Amino acid sequence: MALALTRRRRPVPDEQTGSLSRYRDLVRLLVRYGRSDLVTASGLGDPDSVDPAVDRGDEATAESFAADLEAMGPTWIKLGQLLSTRHDLLPPAWTQALARLQDRVEPFPGEQAVAIVEEELGARIRHLFERFDTEPLAAASLGQVHRARTRSGREVVVKVQRPDVREVVAGDMEVLSRLARAADRHTDLGRRFGAQDLLEQFRRSLTGELDYRQEARNLRTFAELTAGYEHLLVPAPLEDYTTSRVLTMEFVEGRKVTDTGGVGMLEVDGAPISEELFRAYLRMILEEGLLHADPHPGNMILTADGRLALIDLGMVATVPRRVQDQVVKLLIAVSDGDGEEAARVLAGMGHPLADYDAARFRDDVSHLVSSAVGAGEELDTGGVMVELSRLSGRHGLRPPPEMAMIGKALLNLDQATRHLDPSFSPAAAVRRNIDQILRGGMSVSPGSVMAAAIEAKEFTSQLPRRANRIMDALVDGELTVRVDAFDEQRVLRVAQHLTTRVVVGMVLSAIIVGAALMMGVEAAWTIFGYPAVAIVFFVVAAVAGLVLVGHTVVTDRRDARRGRQGTSGEVR
């Protein structure tokens, strides 16, 4: 009988009951999807006490898994959304099912939202707003949005965090931490992909989404970055009406891109919007190092004046400079159809595991890039990046998490631009913006220039003195270069010791055998009733054996100390 997890709509219980409920739900989820080994390893419970794993096809199992995560609450919904970007971890059916995972749940009462706003902003709702709609416009796992009008007549939307959601997330993270530690210690999957590293990335992302002040900063940053694009719009936050649990921003009148069908799109000039949107995101990722991790069409609004508004900027990640540079190289290699270079860049970005096969990986990447370039204008840049991440995981190369997120963001961006303008070609857009991509790859910050200048100054100031020392040693015949790649003297010494020990061991063995044979011979001299000669030989063999063991221990320790002292090359 298949296990069905039901959606819970109740107040958060006391800490002990809530913790038991979390563990029980997690045990059921793991056992149902064939990971009872994790249940046993982490000590979460008894896997035999719940239903066995489902036995269905990949797509059906993936859809069921996504539905169960959605039923378990906000932390698990967000975890599923993060896993949907890890194409190196999960097969396509699973990432597609998790990407469709809906972050829409039943709203909490409007009276509670009013109470939270009053508590956070420190005033009665009638003193803050001329109008506040208690019926929310939309509800998600972490919060819900209400329309309002300020006392000055400004139309706004107010995002209110769900009551007790932080406590729920904190409890879920404790359970996940225990599971991640067990996965890294006891499973090959955990060791291959680093469950604790993945959880830490998830923790940072979720912590940022739970602080609405961070989203307000993201709104201001993205507004500055899109200020030069006439077709793009980012709503401004209201600082005085924003706290960690309440976010107030300008209301944007319009329709979501996903709600605009083919007939409605005839009224929209989608070509310039798509071009500016693609160029702006390339600049954000490759020049500014900022990544809107979820730019899907549902987070974009078409306004009446023909602009595109970007909303829901809670999930924003930073892209390190090293990854930016590598992505620039990768995009150029893919655009040029150079599969060998693409494989080399990916190998430099990733962490090779024990079963990494460089030759097969290079061949498969070359084939993928050639096939993608052969598609011409139909080349899907985001799709290629996603497939490259998947190939990396399949061949034992763990890519950086930012790589998977960039691929997912570009894939969503491709979908948005194609919805706005079916004739838009991401590959052609990459070629048109190659100058911007190159600027992003070659740009340097003042701090990096200063650090390089200091290193160059130290090098040039110390170079003459070091060169003089080397030349003086060379003239005096004192220059010595030692490289311990193969220590011949040590090998000969070890071989000599081994030969000596073997010979001594054979002699002692012969003495013991001879003494044993003499035990049955009658003799005039006896000790304890045995021939005295045999007893003497036994004693000599025992003493010699002890001496040999002691000498072996002392010699091996001395050689080990010498080996540690001589492991580094030396130049004098």
CA distance 235 to 220: 8
What band does 42 get if pLDDT is binned at 50, 70 and 90?
very low
Least trusted range by pLDDT, from 212-221, 431-440, 463-472, 508-517: 431-440
Residue 27 and residue 39: Cα distance in Å, rounded?
6
Q: Is the pLDDT of residue 379 over 70?
A: no
The secondary structure of 417-461 as a DSSP string is HHHH-TT--HHHHHHHTHHHHHHHHH---HHHHHHHHHHHHHHHH
User: Quick one: tokens of 197?
Assistant: 């590293």
In the chain, % helix, strand, coil (3-state, to 5) comes to: 65, 10, 25
Q: What is the mean pLDDT of the chain?
A: 77
pLDDT at 127 over 60: yes
Rounded to two decimals, the pTM is 0.67
The answer, yes or no, to whether residue 152 has pLDDT greater than 60, is yes
Q: Which residues pair with 309 in a beta bridge?
A: 233, 301
Read off the pLDDT of each residue in 110-128 and give the average, rounded to a whole number: 94
CA triplet 49, 54, 60: central angle to 5 degrees? 150
Amino acid in the structure at residue 363: D
E-assigned strand segments in 45-151: 129-132, 138-139, 143-150
Provide the β-strand partners of residue 338.
none
Both tokens assigned to 330: 């990768």
- pLDDT at 157 > cutoff 80: yes
Distant-in-sequence, close-in-space partners of 56: CB < 8 Å, separation ≥ 6:
64
- Dump pLDDT digits (tens) for 239-276: 999 999 999 999 999 888 777 666 666 677 888 898 89
Amino acid at 337: G
- Give the mean pLDDT of 290-302: 79
pLDDT of residue 306: 85
Q: Enter the tokens of residue 198.
A: 């993945």
Residue 438: pLDDT band (50, 70, 90) is low
Chain segment 352-378, per-residue pLDDT in tens:
877 788 888 889 998 888 887 776 656
Name the pairing type of β-strands 351-352 and 481-482: unpaired
Is-contact 113 245, C-beta < 8 A?
no
pLDDT the model gives residue 369: 85
- Residue that wins the pLDDT comparison between 544 and 294: 544
8 A C-beta contact, residue 268 and residue 306 = yes
- Label each residue of 393-412 as H, E or C: HHCCEECCHHHHHHHHHHHH
